Amino acid sequence: MRIAIAADEDTGIAPALAAALRERGHDVVAAHGALNPDERDDWAWASEAAARDVADGRADQAVICCWTGTGASIAANKVPGIRAALCADAQTAAGARQWNDANVLALSLRLTSQAALEEMLDAWFATAPSTEDDDRANIAHLDEIGS
């Protein structure tokens, strides 16, 4: 899978993010913010860039980080077609994929340990979006809300 990544600081799990994704067989197609010396590293710009990679089809999904993860998720969710989920554990990551068909995983650089990162990535990529009618109706309604 093609993954875009972003972080506003090269701290915490940020330096290990690309390697953790590659270990799972994913292709890191773009790095943004503090992970790219040619880009602005502020959370709003970095997270938007990764989200646009997904929305424009250059990446299948993205993993974005900022100190709390909140700003990163807010910025990404401003991009049409993006469903970014701020997750702090594997169960939440799996639920975000299953029930919300999330396509961007937002993480906190402050709270996410290396072990939690590994668990969340495993859960995120092992979980497929639900095919249940009510779950699909909720996802479809998100596009209506944004119209």
> Phi then psi for 34, rounded to 5 degrees?
-65, -15
Q: Smallest Cα–Cα separation from 121: which of 33, 54, 23, 4? A: 23
Q: Any catalytic annotation for residue 66?
A: yes
For residues 124 and 31, what is the distance between their CA atoms, to the nearest angstrom?
Answer: 19
Q: Which helix (H) or strand (E) holds 27?
A: strand 27-33
- Among candidate residues 13, 30, 66, 105, the one labeled active-site is 66
Packing angle, helices 43-55 and 70-77, rounded to 10: 40
Annotated catalytic sites, by residue? 66
